[in-house]
Structure 1
Amino acid sequence: MKTNQAHILLVEDDPQDVASTRRAFQAQGVESPMHVASNGKIALDMLQGRGRAALNPVPRIIILDLDLPEMGGLEFLKELRKDEQLRSCSVFVMTGQSTEKDVLEAYNLNVAGYIVKPIQYDSFLEAIATLNSFLNLIELPN
């Protein structure tokens, strides 16, 4: 099995969800560095290399909440997909919103998966284990 140190960007404004995600990653042995943005605008700045928040390397895996302040998740996704350098990022939605419209719009914006919170911790651990398997199998663009 190859070791893949793909950086991950978690776009989440709830500190408890950030902490839970970090714990689940640690419990599943995910060693990929995780960066956190509290809204879509900050996430875009980080990914597009603007300001002190610029990330290098640019995370190619994004875990996205949809209900965010300032710039929501779907608006972020639209901007991400317009960017020639970022449109190939794999985005997994993990949100409390589950309207059919949101699910359809997210998939139309080419998300890799849509998970509805709250999710039982055991199920969440399984989802993170699946993500870890995904990270170990795929090739990501530079």
Structure 2
Amino acid sequence: MMRETNHKPVSILLVEDDDIDAMSVQRALHKMQLSNPVIRAIDGIEALEILRQGKIEQPFIVLLDLNLPRMSGLELLSVIRDDKTLKNSIIFVLTTSKREEEIAQAYQHNVAGYIVKSSVNQDFDPVLAFLENYWRLVEIPH
């Protein structure tokens, strides 16, 4: 994630069915003056379509909620990791679930991190600040 510079910004695929959380993430990006392109999918099926059809610009990260309609986040993770063209996608789980079995399952699917939303009206500034620092320090393939 990057502020307005000559570097190519990392695109974000936000897989989130909750409108309030999605707006909060957008608001935090704007507040932090981050210029990352954001594409939102409201469930795993829509996210998979976006990824498979190349509708998100490289490089990208996925912010994935687990509690989704039609196809859950864990189901999506499984499909992505079994897809030879998508299996190396960088995915952070961003969810309300603190269930140990879900955390373990997410890491078994090689997520980059598991972030628990603290409340419905979460302040996403710390989450996006963390992600911005991650992308400034970590080399990612384009």
TM-score scaled by length of structure 2: 0.87
Which consecutive residues of structure 1, in runs of 5 or more, have no partner in the other structure?
Answer: none
Which 4+ stretches in 1 moved above 4 angstroms? none
Q: Which amino acid aligns with 1:24?
A: A
Q: 1:47 aligns with which of 19, 44, 51?
A: 51
Q: Where does 1:34-73 land on structure 2 (aligned, <5 Å)?
A: 34-49=38-53, 54-58=54-58, 60-73=60-73
Equivalences for 1:103-118 in 2 at 5 Å? 103-118=103-118
**1:95 matched residue in structure 2:** 95
Moved more, 4-13 or 36-45: 4-13
What CA distance in whole angstroms lies between the structure 2 residues aligned with 1:11 and 1:87?
Answer: 17
Counterpart of 1:127?
127
Question: More helix by proportion, 1 or 2?
Answer: 1
Retained in 2: the 8 A contact 1:9–1:59? no
Q: How has the CA–CA distance of structure 1 residues 4 and 139 changed in structure 2, closer, same or farther, with 3 Å as cutoff?
A: farther
Of residues 18, 26, 29, the one that matches 2:33 is 29
**Cα shift at 1:29:** 2.3
How far the C-alpha of 1:17 sits from its partner, in A, is 0.5
Quick one: percent identity of the two aligned structures?
Answer: 39
Please state whether the residue corresponding to 1:67 is helix, strand or coil.
coil
SS at match of 2:97: coil
Instruction: List runs of 5+ in structure 2 lacking aligned partners.
Output: none
